């Protein structure tokens, strides 16, 4: 592959097979406002070349413990339902082979396929944790059930998704607010202002304790001051330390079995956004695969 791998590394850099498979999915079919998310995966990979491998918090180069290899970008067809199936198949195949798949988007719709792929490859229930500005709980949007505004609604329809925990949400439609009120068991939303007020970690960890988790990071969950390069930016988002506290808590409390990062729409002059996303992903992979005090 000509494009650089995540962190500039490839399977050849590790003695044993890397635990993490980075899968670029340049999906852009149902974008509603600003476009450009198809270029997200390449921008994250490019920016990751500049991320220091040494992690001060962990006191070493954690990626050397678990290993990461970047796959060729996944080509998908133009029909969203078919594209979701193709993504499910690709993620299921890698997950069943023992890899931890980090899908890089691309639009949020890919999460429906990636979660279905993890469900296919693993037994039992799954908690989905979604860091996002938006609840994505609409039944349909712009004529499609596979619009990026409907991702969590499709996942709620999966019987083996035990619960969906949403963090940093600050924009919902009426039908979404009503659904959130009606489904307190399977749907827990921490609004952005609850995150800013603090004290959310204990309940989050309680909800996650002992669970298998799929983590979806929509970069618009972060504040636009940190990541302005996204299609539907919303003020009032997470700052850097809140985002790290979040993925640290999730990794500590639960067993994260799959992950994605979506909706980066790289823009000239905003390369700090690409870098912040790449660094957040490296930190999060290390939290998941190198728990503090433990070994990979």
Residues that bind Mn ion (CB under 5 A): 132-134, 218, 220
CB of 218 to Mn ion, least distance (A): 4
Please say whether the dihedral angle defined by the alpha carbons of residues 47, 50, 55 and 61, taken in this order, is positive or negative: positive
For residue 296, the minimal CB distance to Mn ion (Å) is: 31
Provide, rounded to whole angstroms, the least separation between the CB of residue 288 and Mn ion. Answer: 22
Helix-strand-coil split of the chain, %, nearest 5: 40, 20, 40
Using the minimum distance from each CB to Mn ion, give the nearer residue, 37 or 95: 37
The crossing angle, in degrees rounded to 10, of helices 240-253 and 271-289 is 20
C-beta of 132 vs 274, nearer to Mn ion: 132
Cβ proximity to Mn ion, 176 vs 218, nearer residue: 218
Q: How far is the CB of 132 from Mn ion (least distance, A)?
A: 4
Question: Is residue 97 classed exposed, middle or buried when 0-12, 13-18 and 19+ CB atoms within 10 A define those classes?
Answer: exposed
For 245, residues 6+ apart whose C-beta sits below 8 A from its C-beta are 201
CB closer to Mn ion out of 170 and 211: 170
CB of 223 to Mn ion, least distance (A): 13
Using the minimum distance from each CB to Mn ion, give the nearer residue, 68 or 84: 84
Whole-angstrom distance, CA of residue 93 vs CA of residue 105: 18
Residue 126: Cβ-neighbour burial (10 angstroms; 0-12, 13-18, 19+):
buried
Q: Which residues contact 141 (CB under 8 A, 6 or more apart)?
A: 30, 32, 147, 148, 149, 150
Closest approach of Mn ion to the CB of residue 284, in Å: 18
Q: How far apart are alpha carbons 202 and 194 in whole angstroms?
A: 13
Q: Among 212, 202, 224, which residue's Cα sits nearest to residue 259? A: 212
């Amino acid at each position: 592959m000509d494009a650089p791998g995540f962190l500039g590394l490839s399977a050849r850099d590790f003695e044993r097979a890397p635990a993490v498979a980075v899968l670029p999915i340049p999906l852009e079919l149902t974008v509603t406002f600003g476009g450009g998310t198809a270029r997200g995966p390449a921008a994250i990979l490019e920016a990751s070349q500049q991320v220091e491998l040494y992690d001060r918090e962990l006191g070493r180069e954690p990626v050397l413990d678990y290993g990461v290899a970047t796959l060729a970008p996944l080509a998908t067809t133009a029909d969203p339902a078919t594209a979701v199936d193709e993504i499910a198949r690709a993620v299921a195949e890698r997950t069943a082979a023992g890899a931890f798949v980090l899908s890089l988007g691309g639009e949020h719709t890919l999460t429906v396929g990636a979660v279905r792929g993890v469900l296919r490859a693993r037994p039992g229930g799954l908690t989905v944790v979604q860091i996002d500005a938006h609840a994505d709980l609409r039944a349909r949007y712009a004529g499609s059930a596979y619009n990026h505004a409907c991702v969590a609604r499709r996942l709620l329809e999966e019987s083996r998704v035990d619960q969906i925990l949403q963090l940093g949400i600050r924009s919902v439609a009426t039908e979404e607010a009503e659904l959130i009120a009606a489904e307190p068991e399977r749907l827990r939303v921490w609004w952005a202002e609850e995150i800013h007020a603090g004290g959310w970690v204990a309940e989050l960890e309680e909800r996650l304790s002992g669970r298998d988790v799929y983590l979806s990071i929509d970069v618009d969950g972060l504040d636009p001051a940190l990541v302005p390069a996204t299609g539907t930016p919303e003020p009032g988002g997470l700052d850097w330390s809140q985002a790290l506290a979040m993925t640290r808590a999730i990794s500590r409390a639960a067993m994260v079995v799959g992950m994605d990062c979506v909706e980066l729409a790289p823009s000239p002059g905003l390369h700090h956004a690409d870098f912040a996303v790449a660094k957040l992903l490296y930190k999060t992979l290390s939290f998941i695969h190198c728990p503090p005090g433990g070994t990979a």
